[in-house]
Amino acid sequence: MDDQNRRNGYDDFFREGDSERRSEEGDPKAQRGYEQEREQHEQEQHERERHEQEGPQANASERPSHYYTYGPFKTGGGAQGAGTDAYPRAASSERLTRQEDVQITPPAQERGFAPVGKSQPRQSAGWQVREKSRTSFKAIAISFLAGVLLVGGLMAAADYQNWFTSAGPLAQETETASAVTAGGNSSDASTSLANVVMDRPDNIANIFEASSPAVVKIETFTRSGTGASGSDSMDFFRQFFGDEYTTPTPNGNGSGQGELTPLGLGSGFIFEDTGYILTNQHVIGDAERIEVTVQDYAKTFEAKLLGSSYELDLAVLKIEGDEPFPTLPLGDSDSIEIGDWVVAIGNPHGFDHTVTVGVLSAKERPISIPDEQGTRNYEHLLQTDASINPGNSGGPLINTSGEVIGINTAVSSQAQGIGFAIPTSTIKSVLDSLKNNEDIPIPFIGATLLDMNEQYAEQLGIENAEGALVEGVLYNSPAYQGDLRQFDVIVGLNGEGHATASELVEAIKTQKVGDTVTLNVVRGGRELELEVVIGDRNDFASALQR
């Protein structure tokens, strides 16, 4: 009877719990939990009855111990009491029948930890791993600009306020530039920034202002009926600048006979204040009248030709005036280096006093230009990329110190930026002769020379491929009279070896007309020494004309 009552009590307890929880609709998982609990209580009740029937002799260690998973109720074996439960049955029945003391709830599901990402929705509650916020591009740009302004401001302040040095770079540069301008000597002048700036053409305006008054325009005239007198000069002029310039011709009806006709236009510069002018020979040619225009002078001056050299393409003119003329000094062309800045001033195409700027492109350039009078063989020319045009011929090529280092003479008509100037090293050696209208002696021996090479040496049976091969000998020239022959190889002059023909020619030009020299020659495998008297090319040309 007691067992039946206890069972009914448990049934009533679970029925009351079920009746209250049926109102919680939509929770089938909780409903299954209630059924499991009920079955577990019934199983435990049967287990207690079985132990009571077996008696106190039953081994306490064989009784299983159970823990409720939903509350503080625990069944025990003999460890809690002699064959009794840890909690009396009456107390257990009383506690189980009181709903206000115990509420049966299913075990809560454990929550896992997972980052919130694109593949998993964010949780509204519980633990979450928040995604790191990203910095916007606007914030990065603002930070960068702020850093630039800060660093730039600090650099400028350090430079101008001399935070790290006792004398800032700007002050040092200014002091060095002032010392150089005043002519002071400084051991660091060659490497200072001030010198580098001074070597640049930033003083072109000053150079032009100081040099331009001494640069003159030269116009030549010839008689209408004697156009042939200037034709050679004009043909030669076309060799430099193409076919733009033509020889003037008389009027078709012949009414212009005897009148002066413009022949050519060029430039020059005054090198002595008494009126001495230096220009190219091809500018004046065979002109019958030469007129010179000087800046700041209202009238033109008729110039007199003092002396000229066809071979060197140089001429000196003289004008007369009441006051000293402005002049340009002659500098040293050997001191200028390739890459140095140069300034050209002249009258290209009649545009008075035009200035162009460039650099020295090369030195020691040889060119040859033939015309009806012969062939002009230029040597040691300065090459520049300063613009040179028709009308620039005879004008000065000036360095950054305001000194003339050359006379603008020629330009390649098939190229751009290739102009040539006669160096002052050549001009100075003959300037006095030109002023005094004296013939300029040109030392020569009268032989045409070629550079030796391996092919010539093999054909002549010579082991050494150095020296000058004699291509030809002029009749009755100094070389002819000294028994120099075609296919001889000149290897030296006065015992000093010369590997090329150009070296030998330069050595001959250093000799004086009338000097006797010894040519070291190889002929047919034999070494010979020939004595030759240095002659004057001008005299030899005059003799041929007679």
Residues labelled as active-site residues:
282, 313, 393
Residue with tokens 């225009």: 293
Nearest to 342 by CA among 314, 361, 327: 361
Q: How many CB atoms lie within 10 A of CB 320?
A: 10
Q: How many CB atoms lie within 10 A of CB 129?
A: 11
Distance from the Cα of residue 203 to its chain's centroid:
23
Angle at 490 between CA 485 and CA 494, to 5 degrees: 115
Nearest to 314 by CA among 446, 443, 444, 433: 433
Cα separation, 88 vs 96, whole angstroms: 12
Helical spans, DSSP H, in 404-534: 424-435, 454-460, 478-481, 501-509
Write the burial class of residue 352 (CB in 10 Å: 0-12 exposed, 13-18 middle, 19+ buried): middle
Residue with tokens 């001074």: 198
Cα separation, 356 vs 358, whole angstroms: 7
> C-alpha dihedral over 87, 90, 93, 99, to 10 degrees?
-90
As a residue count, the chain comes to: 546
CB-facing half-sphere around the CA of 349: CA atoms within 13 A: 6
Q: At 164, which amino acid appears?
A: F
Q: Are 226 and 253 in contact, with CB atoms under 8 Å apart?
A: no
